[in-house]
Amino acid sequence: MNAAVAKIKISMVLASIAIVVLGLALGLAVTTYFFGYTFGPGLIVGLLGFILVLNLFQWLLGPYFINAAYRAKEVKPDDPQYGWLLWDVAEVARNNGLPAPKVYIANVPFPNAFAYGSPVAGKRVAITLPTLRILNRDELKAVLGHELGHLRHRDVELLMAVGLIPALVYWLGYSLFWGGLFGGGGNGRGNGGLLFLVGIALIAASFLFQIFMLFLNRMREAYADINAAQTVPGGASHLQTALAKIVASMDPRLAQKYKSNTTMKMLFFAPIDVKEVPEDDARAIVEGWKNERVPWYADLFSDHPHPAKRIQLLEKLKYQYPWYQS
């Protein structure tokens, strides 16, 4: 196994365990102190059940809300303009050992693709109109390999399950905050002021747990990149140029930065009109990202790895799966 792949897998496992164990330990310690060994664990179970119901409702019906927000329309086999997408999605799904998901075109003004779904709505993949305009067919297949990797790895379900813990810490802190503000000291241990302070501390801790969740999400995104390299012919190379085109389409200065070899800082403002990116510009960006040193904090508050990190990982995968590379 590639060392980079092994590192990502280990990081995902350790991050998941750390979030669950530390979060539950913190919750149990606080509730047991304030409410005793009998009521404390029951409160944790009750809060988890409440959060789970909310998350399940969002998960089951979420695809319908997403379709409405993205103005997504399903692609039918007889669609004269986009029917070919069904063949490409079916091919990538077959390589992943999955049934072909439903395919949607999202009518929004920025490039993106995403996999989603639920037991009620079924598995789906959506591609926005600008993505179809700026990517060639091989690059689009690589992007689909990434998105179907999320379905294959059950990322939505995993992140929802682990995400129960930061939500638990938040709601526990929220309850103690208001209990301290208007109530008493819970089982005679402490007073309203202490409850208030512990509530604030737990709310702050929940945001720290969210940083761990962002780290876990970045690892899942990297794992989906690996999936594209493993299951799509030329996936690593084509995903590299696809990423470059997607980012540069909203920041045309990016190509100039690497073509001129300057040290201009990359700035991202509100998306401008999406521009098509020439192949030479995309390759120049990829070459620049291959050698860019990314500070550890650059993507600390992002749910995706820094693009340069993704390109560098994909570069390593070219040699792990050479028979797939063009």
* Number of Cβ atoms within 10 Å of the Cβ of 278: 12
**Using CB atoms within 10 A of its CB, is residue 105 exposed (0-12), middle (13-18) or buried (19+)?**
buried
Q: Which of 36-40, 171-175, 191-195 has the highest mean pLDDT?
A: 171-175
Query: Out of 74, 91, 139, 147, which one is annotated catalytic?
Result: 147
70 or 261, which is more confident?
A: 70
Give the model's pLDDT for residue 252: 75
pLDDT band, very low/low/confident/very high, at 109 (cuts 50, 70, 90)? very high
pLDDT band, very low/low/confident/very high, at 257 (cuts 50, 70, 90)? confident
pTM metric for this prediction: 0.90
pLDDT in tens, 65-104: 999 999 999 999 999 999 999 999 999 999 999 999 999 9
Per-residue burial over 198-214, b if 16 or more Cβ lie within 10 Å, else e, is bbeebbebbeebbebbb
Minimum mean pLDDT range among 2-11, 24-33, 155-164, 285-294: 2-11
Mean pLDDT of 291-306: 94
d(CA 283, CA 277) in angstroms, rounded, equals 10
Residue 128 clears pLDDT 90, i.e. is over it: yes
Phi–psi pair at 245, nearest 5 degrees = -65, -40
Of the chain, the percentage scoring pLDDT greater than 70 comes to 90
- Report how far Cα 60 is from the mean position of its chain's Cα atoms: 18
Say how many Å lie between the first and final Cα of the chain, rounded: 21
DSSP per-residue codes, 11-42: HHHHHHHHHHHHHHHHHHHHHHHHHHHHHHHH
Residue 137 clears pLDDT 90, i.e. is over it: yes
Q: And the tokens for 152? A: 């294959």
Give the model's pLDDT for residue 184: 56
pLDDT band, very low/low/confident/very high, at 319 (cuts 50, 70, 90)? confident
Go through the domains of the chain in sequence order and give each one's CATH number.
Answer: 8-68+155-206 (no CATH), 77-152 (3.30.2010.10), 228-324 (no CATH)
pLDDT band, very low/low/confident/very high, at 262 (cuts 50, 70, 90)? very low
Q: How many CA atoms lie within 13 A of 121 on its CB side?
A: 22
Give the model's pLDDT for residue 271: 43
Give the chain's mean pLDDT: 89
Of the chain, the percentage scoring pLDDT greater than 90 comes to 76
Give the model's pLDDT for residue 264: 32
Residue 30 clears pLDDT 70, i.e. is over it: yes
Mean pLDDT of 32-59: 92
Mean pLDDT of 48-64: 95
Q: Is 221 a catalytic residue?
A: no
Lay out the sheet containing 122-128: strands in order across: 72-74, 102-106, 122-128, 113-118
Of 111, 158, 146, nearest to 130 by C-alpha is 111
